[in-house]
A and B are shown apart, each in its own frame.
Chain A
Amino acid sequence: MPARTKKATPAQRGRTKKAAAKSTSRRSKPAENLLLVATRKGAWIFRGDSGRKGWRADGPHFLGQIVNHLVLDPRDGRTMIAATSTGHLGPTMHRSSDFGRSWQEAKQPPAFAKVPEGQTGRSVKHTFWLAPGHASEPAVWYAGTSPQGLFRSEDGGNHWQPFGAINDDPQYRKWMGQEQDGTPDGPKLHSITIDPRDAKHMYLGMSGGGAHESRDGGRSWTPLAKGLEVVEGFNAADMTFHDPHCIRICPSNPDRLYQQNHCGIYRIDRPSDEWVRIGKNMPARVGDIGFNMVVHPRDDKVVWVFPMDGQTVWPRTSPEGKPCVYQTTNGGKTWKRRDSGLPENQAWWTVKRQAMTADGHDPIGLYFGTTSGDIWMSRDEGAKWTNIARHLPEIYAVEAAVRA
């Protein structure tokens, strides 16, 4: 028979609640979901509750500065790096180890090697892409820049060194092309990808210049272009004309990579060196042009893309003004439109290559930031979309993370 208990007085209830809350707090602080948003005019950290329903904006950080990428190191869960520049000043980086409460500037930001007097050397205009290194190299980070260059830090992003094997190689310099051979605000080295099984096995993308692979930690590189198409009238055998927009490796199967290219959506299954155009299976009216590629962290058959109008003069808007995400659950054999909750028409924004991402929850949360400054999310792998922020500056990058 259970013991009879007296009802607690209001004061006692208050103490009990407080004591219980304190006890819970000591036991385990609920994880905080973070969304790191880099924009043309600053950065924001959105802090979400454990259900990913309520989001609080923390920012702007670096108001007025161009922030191309903001990344939290998943290896230590603390180091955050922002690639920053301004309209007048040269590029730099800022680091935080307290989730953006304070920032320290990198002592030696990415910079190309100085050329001898009388020669014309390159200078970094901005760092575009940040990638934490392999789990076995906890302080290593990689950066891709515009003009195109690859850089490495071995001290958590404080000092950066150039990779001469790609930055100064005459063949690679030819493939990278000049200012007019890339993206409107400058050619970009991006999609720096480390094989989770091998720190020395790397991939990267150059816009333009193609997809490349290294098996020796970046000392030498090999093009990976078989099967990829180029714009009509150009020679696919010349890497100059290749334009990968975003390459992602599948965490659940690192032998499988997906690529959103200027000329379609592709998949490759290593050790094959041939990409297969899986975008041919997209509806012809939507096409398979876009900038981003999101892979499911636990299922190598599932990816999401955000199609873009790449016809005629390249409007770079959602096709027909109807934004939509497309998902495949079978490696690209079939695609399903996932636009429930998104504007039905007259929405002419798009999503840049770093501005769409997934978290690691079950079900997966998807997030994208638009060129018009809105953030949309789905808590159910794309079945339904909800707006969580409006009126930010043009969004360049969105990364999901968890603060333990």
Chain B
Amino acid sequence: MKVLIPTPLRSYTGAREVEAGGGSVAEVLSELDRRYPGFRFRMVDEQNRVRPHIRVFVNGEQIFDLRRPLGPSDSIHIVQALSGG
């Protein structure tokens, strides 16, 4: 599935959009972290919480639980929150 990457994380992926697989958002992020070491910790903290100024959308709907199941046709958008204007 397609994963849209926000600008602060593109130093890891080198691209605005990457392909990744997994049965849940958590699995997709784990795969991305294997491919791009350090990627996950910058957006998800050590308590498995999405960091305060990062948002994750699946098919345009914001999700708060990284265990959210995914299908092959789903798309993920990781965005930086418009914190501070």
A residues in contact (CB < 8 Å) with B: 86-90, 92, 105, 107, 109, 111-115, 120-124
* Chain B 29-45 interface mask (CB, 8 Å, partner A; 1/0): 00000000110011111
1/0 contact string of B47-66 vs chain A (CB within 8 Å): 11101011000000000000
Chain B residues with Cβ below 8 Å from A121 are 46-47
Give the distance in Å from the alpha carbon of A121 to the alpha carbon of B42 in the complex. 17
Q: Quick check: B37 and A89 within 8 Å, CB to CB?
A: no
- Complex formed: what's the CA distance from A121 to B44 in Å? 13
A89–B79 alpha-carbon span in the complex (Å): 11
- Name the prevailing secondary structure of the B interface residues: loop
Cα-based distance from A86 to B84 in the complex (angstroms): 13
| Docked-complex contact B80 and A90, CB < 8 angstroms | no
Q: Which of A89, A92, A112, A123 has the most CB of B within 10 A?
A: A89
Is the CB–CB distance between B48 and A114 below 8 Å?
Answer: yes
Considering the chains assembled together, what is the distance between the CA atoms of A120 and B41 in angstroms? 18
B80 near A88 with CB under 8 A, answer yes
The answer to whether A123 touches B80 (Cβ under 8 A) is no
Bound-complex Cα distance A398 to B84 (A): 28
Query: In the assembled complex, which residues on chain B have CB atoms less than 8 Å from the CB atom of A88?
Result: 6, 8, 51, 53-54, 80-81, 83
14 A-B pairs, CB-CB below 8 angstroms?
Answer: A86-B8, A88-B8, A89-B9, A89-B51, A89-B53, A90-B41, A90-B43, A90-B51, A92-B41, A105-B38, A107-B37, A115-B47, A122-B47, A124-B46
Q: Whole-angstrom distance between the alpha carbons of A228 and B47 in the complex?
A: 36
In the complex the two chains form, is A87's CB within 8 Å of B46's CB? no
Rounded to whole Å, the gap between the CB of B54 and the closest CB of chain A is: 6
Known: A92-B42, A105-B38. A87 touches B48 (CB 8 A): no
Q: How far is the CB of A156 from chain B (nearest CB, A)?
A: 17
CB distance from A168 to the nearest CB of B (A): 13
Across the interface, name the chain A residue whose C-beta is closest to B51: A90
* Identity of the chain A residue whose Cβ is nearest the Cβ of B11 in the assembled complex: A105
Report B83 CB to chain A, min CB distance, Å: 7
Contact of A89 among B43, B48, B84 (CB under 8 A): B43
* Among B44, B46, B47, B49, residue most surrounded by chain A Cβ atoms (within 10 Å): B46
A88 CA / B9 CA spacing, docked (Å): 10
Residues of A contacting B9 in the complex (Cβ-Cβ under 8 angstroms):
89
